[in-house]
Chains A and B, each alone.
Chain A
Amino acid sequence: MEYINIFVKSVFVENMVFAFFLGMCSFLAVSKSVKTATGLGLAVIFVQLVTLPINYLLNKYLLAPGALAWLNPEYASLDLSFLSYIVFIAVIASIVQIVEMVVEKFSPALYSSLGIFLPLIAVNCAILGGSLFMQERGYANLGESISFAFGSGFGWFIAIVAIAAIREKLAYSNVPKPLKGLGISFIITGLMGIAFMSFMGIKL
Chain B
Amino acid sequence: MDKSILKNPFFKANPITVLVLGVCSALAVTVQLKGACVMALSVTVVTGFSSMLVSSIRNTIPNRVRIIIQLVIVALFVILIDQFLKAYAYDVSKQLSVYIGLIITNCIIMGRIEAFALGNKPFPSLVDGLANGMGYGLVLVIIAFIRELFGSGTLFGLQIIPQSWYMANGGFYENNGLVILPPMALIIVGCIIWAQRAVQKELQEER
Binds A, one of B49-57, B145-153, B182-190: B182-190
Interface size on B, residues (CB 8 A): 51
Q: Which listed residue (B24, B204, B207) contacts A171, Cβ 8 A?
A: B207
On whether A123 and B186 interact (CB within 8 A), knowing A90-B71, A136-B97, the answer reads no
Asked if B24 contacts A133 (CB within 8 A), the reply is no
Q: Which listed residue (B107, B196, B204) contacts A25, Cβ 8 A?
A: B107
The answer, yes or no, to whether A24 is at the interface (CB within 8 Å) is yes
**Contacting residues, chain B, for A23 (C-beta < 8 A):** 24
Binds A, one of B34-42, B78-86, B123-131, B160-168: B78-86
Interface of B is mostly: helix
Asked if A187 contacts B186 (CB within 8 A), the reply is yes
**Contacting residues, chain A, for B23 (C-beta < 8 A):** 21, 24-25, 28
Compute how far the CA of A125 lies from the CA of B183 in the bound complex, rounded to whole angstroms: 18
Compute how far the CA of A93 lies from the CA of B193 in the bound complex, rounded to whole angstroms: 32
Interface residues on A, range: 35 or more
The answer, yes or no, to whether B67 is at the interface (CB within 8 Å) is yes
Asked if B24 contacts A177 (CB within 8 A), the reply is no
Asked if B187 contacts A132 (CB within 8 A), the reply is no
Most central of A23, A25, A94 by chain B CB within 10 Å: A25
**Contacting residues, chain B, for A1 (C-beta < 8 A):** none
Compute how far the CA of A186 lies from the CA of B196 in the bound complex, rounded to whole angstroms: 14
Asked if B67 contacts A122 (CB within 8 A), the reply is yes
The answer, yes or no, to whether A138 is at the interface (CB within 8 Å) is no
A1-52 CB contacts (< 8 Å) to partner B:
18-25, 28-29
The answer, yes or no, to whether A181 is at the interface (CB within 8 Å) is yes
The answer, yes or no, to whether A85 is at the interface (CB within 8 Å) is yes
B104 → A minimal CB distance (Å): 5
Compute how far the CA of A129 lies from the CA of B83 in the bound complex, rounded to whole angstroms: 19
Asked if B181 contacts A197 (CB within 8 A), the reply is yes
Asked if B24 contacts A187 (CB within 8 A), the reply is no
For B29, give the chain A residue with the smallest CB separation: A21
Q: Mark B49-93, 1 if CB is under 8 A from A, else 0.
A: 000000000000000010110011001101100110000000000
Compute how far the CA of A27 lies from the CA of B75 in the bound complex, rounded to whole angstroms: 23
The answer, yes or no, to whether B98 is at the interface (CB within 8 Å) is yes
On whether A82 and B83 interact (CB within 8 A), knowing A128-B101, A136-B97, A179-B190, the answer reads yes
User: What 3 pairs across the A-B complex have the smallest Cβ distances?
Assistant: A193-B183, A181-B205, A190-B186
* Residues of A near any B CB (own CB < 8 A): 18-25, 28-29, 82-86, 89-90, 93-94, 97, 119, 122-125, 127-129, 132-133, 136, 170-171, 176-187, 189-194, 197
Can you list 18 pairs linking A and B with CB atoms under 8 Å apart? A18-B183, A21-B23, A21-B27, A21-B182, A23-B24, A85-B82, A90-B72, A97-B65, A97-B67, A123-B107, A132-B98, A136-B98, A171-B207, A177-B197, A180-B204, A181-B207, A190-B183, A190-B186
